[in-house]
Amino acid sequence: MLFNSLDFAIFFPIFFIIYWIVAKNLTLRNIVILFSSYVFYAWWDWRFLFLIIFSSFVDFTIGQKIYKTTKKKVRRNYLALSLLLNLGFLAYFKYANFFIDSFIKSFKLFGGELDSFTLNIILPVGISFYTFQTLSYTIDIYRNQLKPTKNWLAFFSFVAFFPQLVAGPIERASHLLPQFYKTYKFNYQALRSGLLLMAFGLFKKMVIADRLAIVVNEVYNNPTDHAGQDLIIATVFFAFQIYCDFSGYSDIAIGLSRTLGFDLMKNFDTPYFSKSITEFWRRWHISLSTWFRDYVYIPLGGSRKGEYRMYLNLFLVFVISGLWHGAAITFIIWGFIHGVIIVIEKVLSNNKIIIKRDQFFSGLFFTILTFIIVCVAWVFFRANNFSDSRYILQNLLNFDSDFKNFYNLGLPSHEFDFAIIAIIALLIFDYIHRKYNALKLLNKMNFVIRSLSYVIIIFIIVIFGIYGDDSVSEFIYFQF
């Protein structure tokens, strides 16, 4: 079920009403959340619902087992079992064909010959997200940073909580799980700010991301038909498409949760105003970058085992992050690029090579440079295969003499111009939001201005939103 679908437009009001009718009864409320979350997920494919139930049961049980024993070896074995089962399912559904294909290609390098084949595997929606969420629960218990819950209903609801089930934010049990232990009173202020955030998320998704997707799909699905300005425009458009698509989903998830009394962590913080790749990753997909920091980088040794080991750990984290995003060499290269730049920035910082970024012109220069690096990396992230990504990079500066061709990239001229205006408006909003928290300012304004703003946002979504195109309406991160 998509947040931007008619199904959800019917589902959410029904759920919302029932939720607040039973909200004072904690057990009933969590039953409503759990049942509704399972309905929400089963809307795609009910068969994979059993994976979520099984994962919830495994980590609920193992969490209890780890906590009840003080023997290090036994605790370690239980943790290993949790990792094996959760990552085993993730590896099978997401990476089996990738590993098979890689093995066959590697075998050919040594002169061997194997018949190429693939398994008929459907990737369960959101498996990467809820797997990481449940793993954080058992790992925190193993580290003695969290006590296991005895309330299975609360835990199963935490794992399946539908606002953030499919594409995050990836919540820690220490933050979200306790919120299932207490009831909430209806709060008009929370409802108002939550609905505003949902509307803003839908605006970013339906008005900006889905419009840009038309151009991006046209160029990236047929890259050899384009060159120069077409490839640059499509790449820049993809940078804003994925930002609006993913941050739009996060806004909807956070806003929806807020209307129910729940608090989810911030997942994006104006990343395209970053002055370095290091800063970019403090502001982009925050829940994932902090997860990798706490559960991969630190266990690898972090910065505790010397300077060169720290650089290796940083690099490995980003390569693994690339593989997490997708089972393809292009995603690994995407992670490789970010890892190399992060290490270079860390080397410069550790050797006291100070680069001034706080003055206007130097700050503007490094903001543009960071955006260019991010866009080059996005080429590998979006390209359908390595061959396409190589062609795109080789022809980015191969300009066609006719600079009006971009009006033939799937959008009529007025729609293309509207897309440009929407991007500029988004950047202006993000700049204001970065300085003053624009949404909070809007919530503090008087009733007339607030109401007018709500009407304008809804009007723009209704009139200028993209509808009925399955190729662009699904959220990008559902495939991860």
372 with 363: CB under 8 angstroms? no
Give Cα separations from 363 to 229, 243, 370, 426 (angstroms): 26, 21, 10, 20
Give Cα separations from 193 to 105, 259, 260, 347 (angstroms): 53, 8, 12, 42
- Of 122, 85, 115, 84, whose CA–CA distance to 100 is shortest? 115
278 with 178: CB under 8 angstroms? no
Helix, strand or coil, per DSSP, at residue 301: coil
325 is catalytic: yes
- Of 263, 82, 60, 85, whose CA–CA distance to 155 is shortest? 60
Give Cα separations from 113 to 105, 258, 443 (angstroms): 9, 56, 65
E strand or H helix at 322: helix 307-325
User: Which of 226, 325, 338, 433 is the catalytic position?
Assistant: 325
Quote the CA–CA distance of 50 and 335 in Å, as a whole number.
32
Encoded tokens for 257: 């949760």
Quote the CA–CA distance of 294 and 451 in Å, as a whole number.
42
> Cα 254 vs. chain centroid, distance in angstroms?
13
DSSP character for 124? P
Quote the CA–CA distance of 130 and 165 in Å, as a whole number.
6
Name residues whose C-beta falls within 8 Å of residue 139's C-beta, 6 or more positions apart in sequence: 79, 295
Encoded tokens for 171: 């919540």
- 3-state DSSP: the chain helix, strand, coil percent, rounded to 5? 75, 0, 25
Active site (catalytic) residues: 325
